[in-house]
Structure 1
Amino acid sequence: MAKSLLIITRQAPWSGPGAREALDIVLAGGAFDLPLGMLFLDDGVFQLQAAQQPGQVQQKNLGANLQALPMFGVDDLFVSSVSLAERGIDPHSLSLEVQALDDAALSALVDRYDQVITL
């Protein structure tokens, strides 16, 4: 049986390649039917904001790839409620349906997975 994998993405979509690399890993894992989840933490929560204009900072839009996650079987999507609150982001305004978790639930989430990759 394949080991479960949690990808934690902590970078804003415009701060470098980390956000895209995390998304690429999740999409590749989903294509191979690996049991995996994705957690948006810290500045990674900015990836979930709608109506981004990444072209203004010469970056590619990750929105279409994020919307494709369910088509690749990636349904376990989580976000830190603390990270959202610290950045003034309303959880109801996100571009993707994710489960908001407090710090205690985040700790339990990480423990559920066999392997964790943080980008």
Structure 2
Amino acid sequence: MSRSLLVISRQAPWSGPSAREALDVVLAGGAFDLPIGLLFLDDGVFQLAPAQNAKAVQQKDVTANLQALSLFGIDEVFACSHSLAERGLSAPDSAQPLSSEQISQMIDRYDQVMTL
């Protein structure tokens, strides 16, 4: 029986490798048909912002990985609505915004949680 995994991505895409590593973990899990979800929290919601210029900060662009999530069967993608609002962002169609209470309930549904 597969155990479900929730990956919580808390880092901005330009703050180092953590954002990319979180996406890599999720895509690898999806490739093996594991029940997996992805939550963008705190500065991690910046990964959802459109039109990022990763080259300007000498980082790799995560946009292609985000677009590949559905191809790997990753349909449970969430974003903290409070984190989005604090940063003046709105959730894209690819991520379901959740309140703090909804996040707590959602985390309880997963067998394992990994924060990057």
Instruction: List runs of 5+ in structure 2 lacking aligned partners.
Output: none
Structure 2 equivalent of residue 27 of structure 1: 27
Structure 1 equivalent of residue 41 of structure 2: 41
Classify the secondary structure of the residue corresponding to 1:15: coil
Structure 1 equivalent of residue 7 of structure 2: 7
Deviation beyond 3 Å, 4+ runs, structure 1: none
State how far apart, in whole Å, the 2-side matches of 1:79 and 1:58 are.
25
CA RMSD of aligned residues (A): 0.8
Shift of 1:90: 2.4
Classify the secondary structure of the residue corresponding to 2:11: coil
Query: When the two structures are superposed, what TM-score results if normalisation uses the length of structure 1?
Result: 0.95
Query: When the two structures are superposed, what TM-score results if normalisation uses the length of structure 2?
Result: 0.98
Structure 1 equivalent of residue 50 of structure 2: 50
State how far apart, in whole Å, the 2-side matches of 1:32 and 1:43 are.
28
Q: Aligned residues: percent identity?
A: 64
Q: How many residues align?
A: 116
Classify the secondary structure of the residue corresponding to 2:61: coil
Classify the secondary structure of the residue corresponding to 1:67: helix
- Which letter does structure 1 place at the counterpart of 2:94? E
Is residue 87 of structure 2 the alignment partner of residue 109 of structure 1?
no
